[in-house]
Structure 1
Amino acid sequence: MDKNLVKLVRAFLLLVLSLAIGIIGYMIIEGYSFVNAVYMSVITISTVGYGEVEPLSKSGKLFTSTYIIVNLGIFAYVVSIFTTYLLEGELRVIFRNFIQGREVKQLRNHTIVCGYGRNGSKACEQLIKEKREFVLIDNNEELLQHFKNNGKFQSLVGDATADEVLKDAGIEKASSIITTLPSDAQNVFIALTARELNHDIKIIARASDQNSEKKLYRAGATHVVMPDALGGMHMAQLIAKPYVIEFLELLNGVGGENVVLDEFSFDQLQEKYHQKSLAQLDIRKNTGVTVIGLKEQNKGFLFNPHPETTVNHGDVLIILGAQENIDSFKKQYST
């Protein structure tokens, strides 16, 4: 349950408990009827100052005095909680979290991103760019305020290493999870938990240390990314192969050119294009898109595949072209 809602429920239950004690006390000590006991308890809790429904005995007066003193604190606490929720927008937050929880439960084959730090925020940006559904988890509520303004995607405040939080994010129905926490130990723990809760999920994990990389793979990670190592390699390649890196940056959207590298599976092809060779598909002539690679189900990757190569079930095309050409390809060949 949302921690903000817990406070509200706790205050309400405390008020109900106090009322129940008063009703039982007046019925036992003074012999009041249920209605009179409820009335006496309410006016005592609220300190409105009405007179007793019936004269009180000495025991009744002692009980009422103690009851008033105790309820001064309870009533002040309850009023402060309800005032906070009404005036500071807590009810709106609870309602929004409730709606988000319902929307998360409806997600299927989505991605879960753990941590909204340097790597996590970039992962979210790319997922938004690719129009992929995802749920972001972070324990810093203030950090998520900016992200929450985007109603198209969901976020949860909590510890991503906790089973319940991952379940709230729909781990059983997710297709992939990206864990980018700064602690390698936490990423290992999340990988273990995610693999246990969903045997088929794809796990992308961040690692700082090479020893952690091995542990993450043993924990069930599908891919392990080491940002520091990749950054050093990238800087060295800028000296050794600057134009190759410049071209790769264009593919990653760093440059201003509208060049896109995409993938397209056999299952996405229209049935009339099944079991056709690349020459028969004639993709470049029809759309301007270039097939630069093909991932065969059994043999692996083929770079610059031969025109007579047949696209079979389980194969994936790696295509390159301007965004408008990619859109044209999908419009013509996609199911």
Structure 2
Amino acid sequence: MRRRLPHPLRRFRLPAVLLLLVITYGISGYTVIEHWNLLDAFYMTIITISTVGYMEIHPLSNAGEIFTSTLIVVGVGTMLYGFGVFAETLTDNSFIIYRRERQLERSLNQLRDHFIICGYGRIGTQIVAEFEEHHIPYAVIDQTDEALVRLRNEDRLHVEGDASSEEILKLAGIERARGLISAVDSDERAVYIILAARALKPNLYLISRAGRPESIRRLELAGANRVISPYQMAGHRMAELAVRPALVDVLDTLHHGMAEIVVEEMLVKQGMAAVGKTVDEAGLLSPNAAKLLAIRRRDGTLHVNPGPGLRLEEGDLLIALGSEDQLFASAAMLK
């Protein structure tokens, strides 16, 4: 979706005004020159500008014939202009595009707790594929022609425009968003996007791609919570595959849920029963619960293999390993 499109019927405002002026001109002329009543003058004007070929309802004087000639020229020209606007509207599918944009706008307005993905290049496309697989709501922002064509063909929720624009970010529902991912290929643009997003929603979770290592610090200063260097990640993964290929395969299987045992995150929110309780008191060490691997505090402190006496706090992020039933059981214990 781009900035709000005008309704296609607005194109007909000028032809409608011109037609009204022509009708008024015709009625006034026949009333003044031929002294006809308003109904006869109106009827004569309509059959004249529509060129239906009916005979005059009353004989015309010489002045009336001259006036009718001018009315034909002006009226037919106005009618042709109106038909031209109508044909253009049908040719460029304005009504279909407008309806599609309105449906897209309604879908964007219904988004809650979603991610905003800035940039639909190779990285942005992969992010969308992952979100689709895990049914995570999202909206994409891009302004390049190639990306917009793909977004429309794939029927993705998107906003057309510059992701560093506050107006565009608001159209993507940044006030209701869970997080924003900057996947643009320019580090300078990424800085502006992060700054704009942080200004609009100070507590928003921000992730950014960094093309150059020296840009990582700049993006962190701009407000990014996480900065990812694709080249560093690729190098790290290739090294891990070379040294510990089996471990990488196992972790991938767990992460992508391709086995009965998976790794998931659980957030301790305000009002949950587990707030203020120890890990043991919350029941998270129960045989029916998932294995608690780590707890990350709101300030970033990480407790790996937490003990039974560790007390849970609001904002804690729990990393757990287990089957689907065990994970559901752990989530129920938190509530």
| TM range, smaller chain | 0.7 to 0.9
| 2:11 matches 1:11 | yes
Cα RMSD for the two superposed structures: 3.4
Alignment match, 1:20: 20
Structure 1 CA distance for aligned equivalents of residues 105 and 77 of structure 2: 41
3-state secondary structure, aligned to 2:286: helix
- Greater Rg over alpha carbons, structure: 2
Structure 2 CA distance for aligned equivalents of residues 299 and 141 of structure 1: 37
3-state secondary structure, aligned to 1:267: coil
Residue pair 1:270, 1:333 contacting (<8 A) in 2 also = no
The structure 2 residue matched to 1:65, chosen from 57, 70, 73, is: 73
| 2:114 matches 1:143 | no
CA gap 1:257/1:270 in 2 versus in 1, 3 angstroms: same
Alignment match, 1:260: 262
Work out the number of aligned pairs and report it.
324
Residue type of the alignment partner of 1:65: V
CA gap 1:53/1:80 in 2 versus in 1, 3 angstroms: farther
The structure 2 residue matched to 1:166, chosen from 158, 165, 169, is: 169
The structure 1 residue matched to 2:89, chosen from 81, 95, 98, is: 81
Residue type of the alignment partner of 1:308: G
Residue pair 1:179, 1:190 contacting (<8 A) in 2 also = yes
CA gap 1:145/1:34 in 2 versus in 1, 3 angstroms: farther
Alignment of 1:1-335 (within 5 A): 6=6, 8-26=8-26, 31=31, 46-50=50-54, 55=60, 56=64, 58-59=66-67, 61-69=69-77, 71-82=79-90, 85=93, 91-139=95-143, 140-148=147-155, 154-253=157-256, 256-267=258-269, 270-271=272-273, 273-297=274-298, 300-330=301-331, 332-335=332-335
3-state secondary structure, aligned to 1:232: helix
Structure 1 CA distance for aligned equivalents of residues 322 and 235 of structure 2: 29
Alpha-carbon distance, 1:302 to partner:
1.0
CA offsets, 1:184-228, max 9 Å, x none?
333233223222332332222222123333333343322222212
Alpha-carbon distance, 1:293 to partner:
0.8
Structure 2 CA distance for aligned equivalents of residues 128 and 306 of structure 1: 36
Give the percent of matched residue pairs that are identical in Structure 1 and Structure 2.
Answer: 27
Alpha-carbon distance, 1:301 to partner:
0.8
Structure 1 CA distance for aligned equivalents of residues 231 and 142 of structure 2: 22
CA gap 1:45/1:175 in 2 versus in 1, 3 angstroms: farther
Residue type of the alignment partner of 1:119: I
TM-score between the two structures when normalised by the length of structure 1:
0.79
Alpha-carbon distance, 1:10 to partner:
4.4
Residue type of the alignment partner of 1:209: R
Residue type of the alignment partner of 2:101: N
Structure 1 CA distance for aligned equivalents of residues 301 and 282 of structure 2: 21
Alpha-carbon distance, 1:310 to partner:
2.0
CA gap 1:181/1:263 in 2 versus in 1, 3 angstroms: same
CA gap 1:308/1:14 in 2 versus in 1, 3 angstroms: same
Structure 1 CA distance for aligned equivalents of residues 57 and 224 of structure 2: 71
Structure 2 CA distance for aligned equivalents of residues 166 and 189 of structure 1: 12
CA gap 1:7/1:312 in 2 versus in 1, 3 angstroms: closer
- Tell me which moved more, 65-74 or 233-242: 65-74
Residue type of the alignment partner of 2:69: K
Residue pair 2:18, 2:78 contacting (<8 A) in 1 also = no
3-state secondary structure, aligned to 1:257: coil
Alpha-carbon distance, 1:304 to partner:
1.3
Residue type of the alignment partner of 1:23: I
